[in-house]
Structures are given as structure tokens and as C-alpha cells.
Amino acid sequence: MITALESTQSFVLLRLGERRFALAASQVAELVAPSRIFRFPHRSPALEGVVLRRGRMIPVCDIAERLTGKKLTTSRFFLLATRKFGGQLDWIAIPVSGDCELINVDMMEAGSNDSPHVAGWLSHGGEVIEVLRLAVVTPGPAQHEGGAGSPAYAEARP
């Protein structure tokens, strides 16, 4: 017997190439036009650089290659989303290739056979859509549990 928990929540549907995925709306902060990506040397290959948005420097992570096998050649928007590591909220900008849509639907929880990046499944417009676990598809600390960590902003000190 298959047991599935369903709960009605808000989700943002996003397009990566030919496929659509969903994120819990509570994780999505904003959808913005692509802006200049500032690049500097680093060793986190999943990140392209950072964008500057209202004084906040947000890393850009193209998750399309990991999820669809193809890098996005053009991005129409950046979806600004948040992940929570311990008590710390961490922002990330995800390039998406089409319009995003806010929907309210029931989510079927992921099963034990699903990939770790799948939080659940949605049925919408004749499609079955993966709900993404953002902390799994984007880079972050290996330990997602833990203390509050260092503050996101520090006053400059001589």
C-alpha cells in the first residue's frame, strides 16, 4: 500500500529549458531581470559569481545542468530564493529560462526511492512536477543542522 501525505501549499513553478520544476513559495523572495554578474576567483564550481541586489550580494547558481543535463544558454529572470542552514538564512539567485507562476496545490511527499533533491511532487496542468529541495540542488555547508553561524553582515573594523 502506498501512503502519501498531501498538503495544500503555495509553490512557484519555474522553467529550466524544456522542463518545469517547483519551489515552495515561502523560499522565493523575488523574481528579477538578469543583472550583471560580478565574478571573482573562487573554488565553488557550481557558482558563477554574485549579483548585487538592494545592497545584498547574492551568489548565482545555475541548477539547470544538474537537473536537466544542459546549462542554460539564456536566462530570462533570476529567481531570488533563500535557504536555511541552522539559524542562518542564506540567499541564492537561480537563473530561469521562462516565466514563473504561483500556484496553490496539494503536494505529494517524496518517497524513499526519490532523489534527495526531490521534496515532493505536484500535479499541475497535466504535468507531474518535482518540488525541489533547494539546499540539496545548490551548494552549502555539508551539515545543514547546527548553530546560528556567523552573522550575515559584519561591521567593517580596522
Task: Please return the burial class of 157, using the count of CB atoms within 10 Å of its CB with bins 0-12, 13-18 and 19+.
Answer: exposed
Minimum CB separation of residue 132 from another protein in Å reads 15
Is the alpha carbon torsion for 59, 63, 66, 70 positive or negative? negative
- Per CB under 8 A, the segment of 73-81, 85-93, 106-114, 125-133 that binds another protein is 85-93
Nearer to another protein, 42 or 70 (CB): 42
Nearer to another protein, 34 or 140 (CB): 140
Task: Please return the burial class of 107, using the count of CB atoms within 10 Å of its CB with bins 0-12, 13-18 and 19+.
Answer: buried
Candidate residues 4, 10, 56, 102; the one interacting with another protein per rule CB under 8 A: 56
Q: Could you give the string, one character per residue 87-126, with x where binding to another protein holds by CB under 8 A and - elsewhere?
A: -x-xxx----------------------------------
Q: CA nearest 67: which of 89, 92, 97?
A: 97
Kindly determine how many residues on this chain lie close enough to bind another protein according to the rule CB under 8 A: 36
Nearer to another protein, 40 or 73 (CB): 40
The residues with which 19 forms a beta bridge, in sequence order, are 16
Length of the chain counted residue by residue: 158
Minimum CB separation of residue 143 from another protein in Å reads 11
- Per CB under 8 A, the segment of 52-60, 66-74, 95-103, 121-129 that binds another protein is 52-60
Q: Which residues are within 8 A (CB) of 59 and not within 5 positions of it... i.e. 6 or more apart? A: 44, 47, 49, 50, 91, 92, 93
Nearer to another protein, 8 or 157 (CB): 157
Please tell me the distance from the alpha carbon of residue 126 to that of residue 37, in angstroms, as a whole number. Answer: 36
Give me the residues that bind another protein (CB under 8 A), please. 38, 40-44, 46-47, 50, 52, 55-59, 61, 83, 85, 88, 90-92, 138-141, 149-158
